[in-house]
Amino acid sequence: MKTFFGNALTMPYKIIRQIHKIALLMFLAGGALAEEIVILAFGDSLTAGYGLAETDGFVPQLENWLNEQGSDVRVVNAGISGDTTAGGLARIDWVLDAEIDAVILELGPNDFLRGLNPSVARENLDGIMQVITGKGVPVLIAGMPAVTNYGAEYKAEFDAIYPWLAQKYNAPLYPFFMNGIAEMRGQRDVMDFFQPDRLHPNAEGVVLIVEDIGPHVLALIEAVE
């Protein structure tokens, strides 16, 4: 009986057995390498893609960018427009199911836009992180510095939440979700990258956001692998 490896009938049994073991290991390794990584994008309207065509939002653009880098990744959109940290805490446990391998956490802007107490936002985000890390899922914290509407003291207290979370849970921090747009200052009017409400990025703005945060998400994927 001729095979790819030669004449199996004349081949010593131990060699055949070893070949079978090698073939099995190669098969298993190939399956592991091909396994899809599932990332939960957990946030508010910035994650949800408010005001944009479905293909132009943060989640689809990030998924496409990651796949272009050679990663087999699916990004799940768990963004809800208008969601606060309290809303996120209420839903994180049932959203974070068994298929999720990693999380991008982007919440907080709606809290400071409404002038909610920073200590409450901190407690809510702490609770969200407890749930995520309690399930052994790596997380990238995407921060959003507060506006100055409520004074310097309020802003300082709110902005300190994200570094505190990162340190407490030993989690990577991407300090400013809009950094890709902010880095265009001096080159173009940054408002060119926003929708008419001047709060939400347009499709071109999302491209900049994804290109800037993308390498940090790749590092998150490496933590999963």
Q: What is the per-residue pLDDT across 166-181, written as a single tens digit (0 to 9) for each? A: 999 999 999 999 999 9
Cβ atoms 58, 41 nearer than 8 A: yes
Q: What is the DSSP string of 20-85?
A: HHHHHHHHHHHHHHTPPEEEEEEESHHHHTTTS-GGGSHHHHHHHHHHHTT--EEEEEEE-TT--H
* Contact criterion met (CB below 8 Å) for 1 and 8: yes
Q: Which of 71, 159, 200, 212 is catalytic?
A: 200
Indicate the pairing of strand 2-3 with strand 6-7: antiparallel
**What is the pLDDT, as a whole number, of residue 3?**
34
Does the annotation count 212 as an active-site position? no
Which residues touch 191 (CB under 8 Å, ≥6 apart)? 198
User: How many CB atoms lie under 10 A from the CB of residue 161?
Assistant: 25
Q: Is 197 a residue of the active site?
A: yes
pLDDT of 120 above 50: yes
- In angstroms, rounded to a whole number, what is the distance separating the alpha carbons of residues 116 and 96? 26
* pLDDT at res. 34: 54
Among candidate residues 44, 45, 83, 159, the one labeled active-site is: 45
Calculate mean pLDDT across residues 109-122. 98
Task: Tell me the pLDDT tens digit for each residue of 56-78.
Answer: 999 999 999 999 999 999 999 99
Domain ranges within the chain, ordered by starting residue: 1-34, 36-224
Which CATH number applies to 36-224? Answer: 3.40.50.1110
Please report the pLDDT score of residue 23 as a whole number.
47
Cα dist from 151 to 7, 10, 146, whole Å: 82, 85, 10
First to last CA, the chain: 41
For residue 32, pLDDT beyond 80: no
Q: Is 216 a catalytic residue?
A: no
The pLDDT > 70 percentage for the chain reads 85
